[in-house]
Amino acid sequence: MKFKISHLIKTYPITFFAVVALFTASVVTAAKGVLLPLAIGEAALSVVLAVSAILKMHNEFRIIKNAVLSLNASLSDKDMLKYFPLPAIICKANGKILWYNDLFKTNVIRTRQPKEDNISVFTGGTDLSKLTAENRFSASYDGRDYTVISGTVDCSGDNCTVLYFVDDTDLKSIVREYRMSKPAVALIAVDSIDEFYRVYKESEYAEITSAVERLTENWFSEFSGVFRKLGTGRFIAIVPESELEKMISKKFNVLENVRTYTYNGATVGITLSAGVGRGDNLSDAESAARQALDMALGRGGDQVAVKDNDKYTFFGGVSKGVEKRTKVRTRVVASAMSELIRNASNVVIIGHKFSDLDSVGAAYGMYKAALALGKDAKIVVNRKTTLAQPLIDFIEKSDDDCFVSPITGERLIVKKTLLIVVDTHKADFVDSKNVYDKAQSVIVIDHHRKTVDYINNAVIFYHEPHASSACEMVTELLQYINKRPVADSLCATALMSGIMLDTKEFVLRAGVRTFEAAAYLRSRGADTVTVKSFFANSMESRKLRGMVVMNAEMYRSCAISVTDIESNDIRVVCAQAADELLSVSGVDASFVIFKTDDIVNISARSMGKVNVQLIMEALGGGGHQTMAAVQLKGVTESEIKNMLKTAIDNYYSNL
């Protein structure tokens, strides 16, 4: 390549001017006599040339600037886009195609002429307004993948959309191949396998466990990967992402295979739980799998939890959890709690929003435990929203100094305060979020099935999804938390009310340990007649409950009632109406929709055949298998009713 001074001037003008200036200065300095005028003339000429070059450069920049501005100003001109180096297409706001350039015809349409003149043909059917909410989105057409960049153009006074299609099929194929090859780890556990050891003979137990292992191994052998046994009832599988996608497409039907296993003509009832973790490497995937397995077990077992970063996806969870009868963990937790209480400066107990008998009863039980261990304690209750006012009034007749407002509760929180959260494990659902946020040490006691937004900074997270109620869990703790009996007749009555509420008077979710706890409370002086009075309603509330029941309609074995009644006891009325609807023949689950202020609520109940927790969770709520709820803002009752029907359809389709 030839070296040209003009090229140097155009490419490196500043360097050239600097060299000329230095050269001229040296000549003027060194020149004497006759040469001095010549040197001065040379310097003057250099200055003139430099000024001329600067003016020329400025003029060129001005021309380029005007060209760019004119280009932007004339974007509505199709001729400009005709020679654009990318496939481009112009369409109206409704998606109708107005024009496209030759590159779009050659590289995108190719030999396939679209049957419609709407841009949705090239964007997978998605509406244009949703796509252009972002300036960049992905689209596929005729086996090719594109990244599409959107902008606006002026079409004779109307705003139109111009889309530029960048063909990145090969790059996306590489990304897809890389993602499909990433490892996924699955940890599988047989639920409560020790319980079956107590029920069956050793030879029968060995045959059952071997059959379950064969079912599990045969299912995983359908996919490419590694499957190994870690111990009795525990397995690990390592598969690429591509195989995990196949498992997900089958909805992990290994759960159904194991659940329906029969021995000697009878269904055993054994179930599997699995945690699947995704990650960039095996270490991250294995760690995520452990967290996912804990989540699956915390939600009652018989399900698969797939963890991808902070997002969980669940499969299964349609059967009842198997009750664990051992109390070893209860003794260990009670010992650890007593140590934390002794080391705390004071104790604050709090339940969930719209506190009920179970929440307040469990809180009062832990309040008595703290007093027995020599610590000052208070219970935070929002009296404006509580549903347990009869119990609060009953307790205050004998102990009028235990309940405080959320504002007072905030002032009680100091550095060494121990906060005990009962009957909920969600930080956003405690009776006062400010009280929770100020506390540094937290204990959680809850029986609801675990959700993804659980309190993850608890010193002790005592979670038993197989327990009937928080009061049942607290009753067991009180038997081990102190050497001397903690519960007096008042405390026993409060705890009994919570158990009776959540078991519907020992009808639902009442296991062996539930009756053991009730027997212990009865021995400590629990008054069941007083407890029954807590459930009494006024004549007006009973009439309103009848109206809610009358408004119900059937949908796929579910009773759905939408009510617009106004009452201070609307939450209690609707919850009781949901319970009453279960007594109707053919109703497997009931849902009552009602509004409080600007929030639309659903109170859901079932007898166990339908897992209402999964249905409510699909709408953003949660709860238990037979009792759940959700609260939503910004929707109407009719909208949430349609959303509920969709959630019910999805639930039945996943069975």
Q: Which residues contact 14 (CB under 8 A, 6 or more apart)?
A: none
> Does residue 459 register a pLDDT over 80?
yes
Mean pLDDT of 274-288: 91
> Does residue 71 register a pLDDT over 70?
no
The backbone torsions φ and ψ at residue 113, rounded to the nearest 5 degrees and listed phi first, read -90, 120
> Does residue 3 register a pLDDT over 50?
no
Can you give the pLDDT at residue 68?
A: 40
Convert the pLDDT of each residue in 396-413 to its tens digit: 998 778 999 999 999 999
Convert the pLDDT of each residue in 540-587 to its tens digit: 888 888 999 999 999 999 999 999 888 888 888 998 899 999 989 999
In angstroms, rounded to a whole number, what is the distance separating the alpha carbons of residues 424 and 446? 5
CB 241 within 8 A of CB 223: no
Convert the pLDDT of each residue in 140-158 to its tens digit: 888 888 988 888 777 766 7
CB 513 within 8 A of CB 476: yes
CB 593 within 8 A of CB 562: yes
Can you give the pLDDT at residue 176?
A: 84
Calculate the average pLDDT of the chain. 84
In angstroms, rounded to a whole number, what is the distance separating the alpha carbons of residues 247 and 225? 12
As a whole number of Å, the CA-based R_g of the chain is 36
What is the percent of the chain with per-residue pLDDT over 70, rounded to a whole number?
A: 85
Which of 134-143, 157-166, 237-246, 323-332 is the most confident on average?
237-246
CA-closest candidate to residue 395, choices 529, 524, 492, 523: 492
- 448 CB-contact burial (10 Å; exposed 0-12 / middle 13-18 / buried 19+): buried
Convert the pLDDT of each residue in 463-522 to its tens digit: 988 899 999 999 999 999 988 889 999 999 999 999 999 998 898 888 889 999 999 999
pLDDT band at residue 109 using 50, 70 and 90 as cut-offs: confident
pLDDT band at residue 73 using 50, 70 and 90 as cut-offs: very low
> Does residue 346 register a pLDDT over 90?
yes
Mean pLDDT of 197-202: 79
In angstroms, rounded to a whole number, what is the distance separating the alpha carbons of residues 216 and 103? 54
Mean pLDDT of 374-381: 96
Q: How is residue 238 written in tokens?
A: 């390592």
Residue spans of alpha helices (H) in 74-168: 78-82, 102-103, 128-131
Convert the pLDDT of each residue in 492-506 to its tens digit: 999 999 999 999 889
Sheet containing 558-562: give its strands across.
553-555, 558-562, 589-596, 599-606, 627-633, 622-623
CA-closest candidate to residue 372, choices 215, 480, 528, 527: 480
Can you give the pLDDT at residue 79?
A: 60
How many Cβ atoms are within 10 Å of 442's Cβ, its own excluded? 20
Helix (H) or strand (E) run with residue 145 in it: strand 144-155
CB 549 within 8 A of CB 577: yes
> Does residue 11 register a pLDDT over 60?
no
> Does residue 76 register a pLDDT over 90?
no
In angstroms, rounded to a whole number, what is the distance separating the alpha carbons of residues 21 and 96? 62
> Does residue 526 register a pLDDT over 70?
yes
Give me the count of residues in the chain: 655
How many Cβ atoms are within 10 Å of 441's Cβ, its own excluded? 18
CB 567 within 8 A of CB 592: no
pLDDT band at residue 9 using 50, 70 and 90 as cut-offs: very low
How many Cβ atoms are within 10 Å of 61's Cβ, its own excluded? 10
pLDDT band at residue 638 using 50, 70 and 90 as cut-offs: confident
CB 239 within 8 A of CB 186: yes
